[in-house]
Amino acid sequence: VDSTHQLIKAPIVLVWDRLNTHVSRTIRELIDAREWLTVFLLPAHSPDLNPVEGVWAHVKRSLANLAVVALARLEVLVRNRLKRLQYRPDTLDGFIAGTGLALDHPASP
């Protein structure tokens, strides 16, 4: 997270499920020490509120009916699909909108 923040030079908002490592004391201290980091925790057992579910469904649809002979090739394809999504902010916003959650755009630094 620190490396990403240094790279993009902007505030970061994370939406996390309640995986035990996401709610640990260590992570809470890490979050509290970074004023540029905002974390929202989803309610337990709520995949319909997790925008990442939409991202993965989108990526999997793009790989439908594809026969890959090597795991390394599949990894390259998945990375490529995710990279393409970086340049489609409206699509990414759509995954958030699909959850019914509000999307407030923070002011630029």
Tell me the pTM. 0.59
Per-residue pLDDT of 21-69, as tens digits, reads 788 899 899 999 999 999 988 888 888 888 888 999 999 998 888 888 8
Query: Which pLDDT score, from 0 to 100, does residue 56 have?
Result: 92
Kindly list the domain boundaries of the chain, sorted by start residue: 1-44, 46-109
**Closest by CA position to 63, among listed 41, 80, 87, 48:** 80
> Nearest 5°: phi and psi at 71?
-60, -40
